[in-house]
């Protein structure tokens, strides 16, 4: 009975690592390029059976990822990696009873280069920023923006910003990892203001029924759009109402508007201040241009000495600049006009032959 029992005890003692498992693991810190990475072995042996306890007798590191565990044998190791990105690092452990295992991990060495482009527009349009930061190592990056107008924004990779005024703004992007490695880049961003729109009118915007008005946009633009749906530089207006135009230049737009009033009669007589009675058939008579809207009109004209040189109780645009059958000299004369509305209009008219 004693021989059988001894045989069983010896068999159990020499079964190597039955019910035991070698667990290889290590920890490391994440650093920026140029920093020292620290590695710590966390290898263990699990024991799930009643056996003689095994132990780890050898550690070996592969810090350059070449498959050779010849870069150190201590439980704590360090490395100064010369390039950013992910580095393949391995640890191998061997136990007294002959168990051996290895584990590789990708170890980040952080480095980044902040970059961005902008799509700057107009004051009334959003400026869009495209973050193109080059990242090596950890992909978790924090961002901070200074937009150059006193406002800032953090935590957004590709922001959109509205500028209240036009001008050139100094924009800065700051990028960094949780462990540091912060860097920044700055660019000038130009935000254009709306282009000024100047209109030219062929006549007053208050006109009588049947008249027409040409309105033109002055300057050069990429495109033009009127409230009438026309896209030409000049439009013809014949009806009362509000009109507007939007002119586009470099993706920005400016607007201008005006009102047109159409009346049965003109607002007041339009009296010529110059005529040339030289017999050439052009501008030989002194005219009230919209006389038909105001007639009958009482007209009196005086020279610089106060002598009346022309009068009419119902003027027909027929004065040829003569007095007592003779042409008056080139000079300035003074008129008084009172029409159906009883308003008195006075001014001067020049005779020039």
Each residue's pLDDT tens digit, 100-139? 999 999 998 999 999 999 987 788 788 999 999 999 877 8
> Are both 198-263 and 274-351 of the same fold?
yes
User: What is residue 12's predicted lDDT score, i.e. its pLDDT?
Assistant: 29
Architecture of domain 274-351: Sandwich (2.60)
| CATH entry, 114-191, from 3.40.50.1970, 2.60.40.10, 3.90.1150.10, 2.60.40.3080 | 2.60.40.10
Non-local CB neighbours of 206 within 8 Å, separated by 6+ positions: 260, 261, 263, 266, 267
Ramachandran region of residue 150, left (φ > 0), alpha (ψ -120 to 50) or beta?
Answer: left
pLDDT of residue 204 exceeding 70: yes
**Residue 332 clears pLDDT 80, i.e. is over it:** yes
Average pLDDT over residues 196-223: 87
Structure tokens at 124: 């009334």
pLDDT digits (tens, 9 = 90+) for 259-287: 998 876 556 889 989 898 988 888 899 99
Find out whether 194 and 253 touch, Cβ atoms under 8 Å: yes
Of 72 and 252, the structure prediction assigns the larger pLDDT to 72
Interval 18-28: pLDDT, tens: 557 899 999 99
Per CATH, which fold does 198-263 belong to? Immunoglobulin-like (2.60.40)
Average pLDDT over residues 181-197: 92
CA distance 135 to 139: 7
Q: Hey, where are the domains in the chain?
A: 19-109, 114-191, 198-263, 274-351
Burial class (CB in 10 A: 0-12, 13-18, 19+), 75: middle
Is the CATH number of domain 19-109 2.60.40.10?
yes
Dig out the tokens for 161 from the structure: 């910003």
First CA to last CA across the chain, in angstroms?
Answer: 157
């Amino acid at each position: 009975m004693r021989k059988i029992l001894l045989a069983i005890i010896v068999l159990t003692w020499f079964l190597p690592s039955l019910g035991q498992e070698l667990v290889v693991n290590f920890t490391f810190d994440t650093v920026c390029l140029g920093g020292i990475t620290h590695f710590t072995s966390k290898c263990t042996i699990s024991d799930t059976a009643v056996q003689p306890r095994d132990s780890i007798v050898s550690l070996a590191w592969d810090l350059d990822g070449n498959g050779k565990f010849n870069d150190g044998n201590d439980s704590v190791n360090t490395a100064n990696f010369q390039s950013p990105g992910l580095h393949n690092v391995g640890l191998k452990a061997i136990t007294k009873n002959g168990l051996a295992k290895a584990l590789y991990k990708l170890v980040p060495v952080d480095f980044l280069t902040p970059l961005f482009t902008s799509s700057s527009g107009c004051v009334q349009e959003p400026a869009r920023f495209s973050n193109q930061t080059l990242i090596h190592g950890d992909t978790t990056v924090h961002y901070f923006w200074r937009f150059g107008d006193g406002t800032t924004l953090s935590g957004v990779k590709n922001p959109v910003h509205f500028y209240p005024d036009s001008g050139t703004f100094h924009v800065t992007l700051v990028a960094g990892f949780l462990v540091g490695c912060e860097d920044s880049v700055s660019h000038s961003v130009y935000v254009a203001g709306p282009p000024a729109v100047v209109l030219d009118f062929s006549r007053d915007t208050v006109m009588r029924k049947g008249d027409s008005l040409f309105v033109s946009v002055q300057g050069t633009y990429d495109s033009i759009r009127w409230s009438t749906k026309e896209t030409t530089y000049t439009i013809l207006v014949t009806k009362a109402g509000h009109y507007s135009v939007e002119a586009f230049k470099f993706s920005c737009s400016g607007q201008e508007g005006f009102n047109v009033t159409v009346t049965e009669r003109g607002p007041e007589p339009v009296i010529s201040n110059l005529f040339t009675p030289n017999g050439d058939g052009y501008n030989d008579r002194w005219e009230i241009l919209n006389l038909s809207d105001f007639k009958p009109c009482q007209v009196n004209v005086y020279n610089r000495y106060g002598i009346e040189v022309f009068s009419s109780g119902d003027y027909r645009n027929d004065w040829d600049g003569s007095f007592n059958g003779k042409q008056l000299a080139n000079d300035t004369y003074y008129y008084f006009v009172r029409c159906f509305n009883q308003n008195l209009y006075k001014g001067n008219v020049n005779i020039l032959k």
